């Protein structure tokens, strides 16, 4: 499955924090500008890190003092040779970090 994530935010700090994290995972990151505002596009040849990347959006928003539901994350993906591409638009309704029980 190939995937691409586009993150739109009014916060340059959120975009930069997420872009740095994605680059650290080895992903290609491009800056884009459209009528909706500034955004970054992350190419995800391996979608296994997608949940980590979305979680980092919440962390970045918290660090930047931005409500977690402000950034808009659009994930587009396609399986194998299938011609149709699916796009999901996501906002974090809630973001929390809690300590896990020791095992």
32-62: per-residue pLDDT in tens? 876 667 899 999 887 778 888 999 999 999 9
User: Which residue in 6, 5, 14 sits closest to 95, CA to CA?
Assistant: 14
In a domain, 79, yes or no: yes
In a domain, 99, yes or no: no
pTM, two decimal places: 0.86
User: Which residue in 14, 15, 22, 19 sits closest to 66, CA to CA?
Assistant: 14
In a domain, 95, yes or no: no
Under a CB-based contact definition with an 8 Å cutoff, are residues 26 and 19 in contact? no
CATH number, domain containing residue 63: 3.30.70.260
Q: Rounded to an integer, what distance in angstroms lies between the CA atom of residue 41 and that of residue 99? A: 31
User: Which residue in 97, 99, 20, 76 sits closest to 53, CA to CA?
Assistant: 20
Domain limits for position 33? 2-90
51-96: per-residue pLDDT in tens? 889 999 999 999 999 999 999 999 999 888 888 999 999 999 988 8
Number of domains in the chain: 1
């Amino acid at each position: 499955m190939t995937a691409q994530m586009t993150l739109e935010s009014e916060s340059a700090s959120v975009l930069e924090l997420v872009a740095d994290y994605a680059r650290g995972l080895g992903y290609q990151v491009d800056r884009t500008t459209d009528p909706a505002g500034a955004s970054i596009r992350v190419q995800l040849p391996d979608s296994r890190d997608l949940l980590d990347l979305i979680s980092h959006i919440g962390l970045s928003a918290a660090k930047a003092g931005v409500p977690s539901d402000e950034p808009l994350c659009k994930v587009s993906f396609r399986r194998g040779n299938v011609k149709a591409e699916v796009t999901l638009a996501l906002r974090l309704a809630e973001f929390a970090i809690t300590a896990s029980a020791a095992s």
